Amino acid sequence: MDFSFSDEQDLLRDSIRKYLSAKYDASARMRIVASAEGYSCECWQEFAELGFLAAPFPEEYGGIGGGAVETMIIMEEFGRRLVVEPFVETVVLAGGLLRDLGSEEQRHTFLPRIIDGSDLWALAWAEAQGRHDLHDVALRADRHGNGYRLNGSKQVVVGAPWADRLIVSARTSGGRRDRPGISLFIVDKSQSGIDCRDYATVDGRPRRGHRLRRCRRRL
């Protein structure tokens, strides 16, 4: 079995190495982490222009049609430089959920804005009592008019301080630890009813806890 990269994958790896070598040394990273934003908007837009954000998405949404190998290549190179920009949070987690579980309308609406660097996303799934159990969800979503009202809290929402939108897991039926009855909701972080608390982690990145009360979209 041949595990060597294709020519296109080699080109992706080399372009990332060249960019990071020129723009993302240790001193640059320290300046980025110490900045008010905690990440570099300039670097994020350059990631988009170079096609890094498009790697795992189908061409019909503006991606380059890559997959797990392309994502691995990007993550390996980002790991070498300890890149703090929210690639995992926006592209891998939220983008992957939208690609795999979202409706066609949601894919065509949201994926191009991830690919061109317009929007940042975060996945809000962890809860204080959950202990990393994806099915231990106490945050509830109840019908409210044409949408849903979310009540509860999430913790350690990585990338949330920068995010424009969140994907939030919430219980629409069943008990707290039941495996069925969990839905995913798209939440615009600018809307009312969201209380946030930022704090720094050991790697210098800000993270945020969320208390949510309302949502109008559902995956």
**Average pLDDT, stretch 57-66?**
96
Rounded CA separation 68/104 (Å): 22
Could you tell me the two tokens for 147? 């949408």
Domain 121-218, what architecture? Beta Barrel (2.40)
201 — pLDDT class (breaks 50, 70, 90): confident
The pairing of beta strand 121-124 with beta strand 165-171:
parallel
On whether the CB atoms of residues 77 and 13 are closer than 8 A, the answer is yes
Crossing angle for the helix pair 7-23 and 41-49, nearest 10 degrees?
Answer: 160
In the chain the first and final C-alpha atoms are separated, in Å, by 38
pTM of the complete model beyond 0.75: yes
198 pLDDT tier (thresholds 50, 70, 90): confident
> What's the pLDDT band for 218 if we cut at 50, 70, 90?
low
- pLDDT tens column, 79-118: 999 999 999 999 999 999 999 999 999 999 999 999 999 9
CATH 3.50.50.60 fits 7-86, yes or no: no
β-bridge partners, 198: 208
**Domain residue extents for the chain:** 7-86, 121-218
